[in-house]
Structure formats: structure tokens, C-alpha cells
Homo-oligomer: A and B are copies of this chain.
Amino acid sequence: MNRLVSVIQALKAKGVRLTSERQLILRRAVNHLHFSAEELVNDVRTIDRSVSRMTVFRTLTLLQNAGLVEKHDFHYGPPYYEVTYGKAHHDHLMCMRCGEIIEFQEPRWEPMQEEAAKRYGYKLLSHTHKLYGLCGSCQTRNNGKPVHKAPKLHVEEIVA
């Protein structure tokens, strides 16, 4: 709940009008760790059918522009969103079979990235760094069988 409050305050501070629709969408969004747009639409509309799909998309865009939400393309399955406001920067490790997502930090990478960008005269503004593999149980459980495109992603606790 604390988290919702702080996200709402951050939005207000940016002068964004906080309608009841937006509040509901935010409330549901902070409840998930990673979610697809369509999942959020369903979740929100389970609670209030009168909120349209469009409003959810628009709010998601609004939140992205305000820097509170990030969109991740995991290459397997649909793009996933994450409320990143107040969270430390982290990268993602995903299991290609079961879709588990682990968030982790690797502080050593940050300066190296700055350095790489600078090498080409670039000013670094953001980055994405995603690792794909097989989690422990998928390695043993399905040994030998081919790896498919991961079907769907599960919400997962922040691990590091």
C-alpha cells in the first residue's frame, strides 16, 4: 500500500490528473511484478468493467512517459510491463521454458556500459540487459527435450 501511495505522489508531483480509472489501474499494476498489457486490462476490468481497454493502454503509456513504468520485451511471449518507480535498477534473467523471471543487480556493469557508449561518442541514456536460460528445475525436469518459446511469464519475487 505504501508503494501505491508513493507512486501516486510521484504522479501528482508531475501534475498528472489522477482520475478514478488511473487510480484503479495503478493499484492493480503495483500489485504485479511483471504483467502484460492485456493481463492488466483483464485484471482491471474484473474489478470495474466500465474501464476501457484503451484507458489501460493510455495510462500505461502515460506512466512510461512519466518514468514510473518500464516496458520489457522478453523476446519470448508478449511485452511485459513493470512499475519501476522506487525500485533500484536491475537486469533480468528469464527461464526459456517455464518463463520464470528473476531480477538481479550487477553494479559492476553500469560503469562499463557508460565507458562503452563513450567509446563511440554516445551519451548513454538507458539500456536493457537480459539473460535467457534454463532455471534449475527446468534443466533437470526436461533434460534432453527441446526448449520451446516460453508460453507465459509468471510473476516472481525480486531475488537480488
Chain A positions within 8 Å of B, measured between CB atoms, are: 71, 73, 75, 91, 93, 95-96, 102, 104, 106, 108-109, 112-113, 116-117, 119-136, 139, 147, 159-160
Contacts and interface: CB of A to CB of B under 8 A. Distances in A.
B96 A128 contact: no
Nearest to A115: B106
Report copies per complex: 2
Contacts of A122: 93, 95, 102, 131, 133-136
B123 A127 contact: no
A134 B128 contact: no
Given A71-B75, A96-B125, 16 more contacts: A75-B128, A93-B116, A93-B117, A102-B122, A106-B112, A113-B131, A120-B135, A120-B159, A121-B136, A122-B135, A123-B134, A124-B131, A125-B132, A126-B131, A128-B128, A129-B129
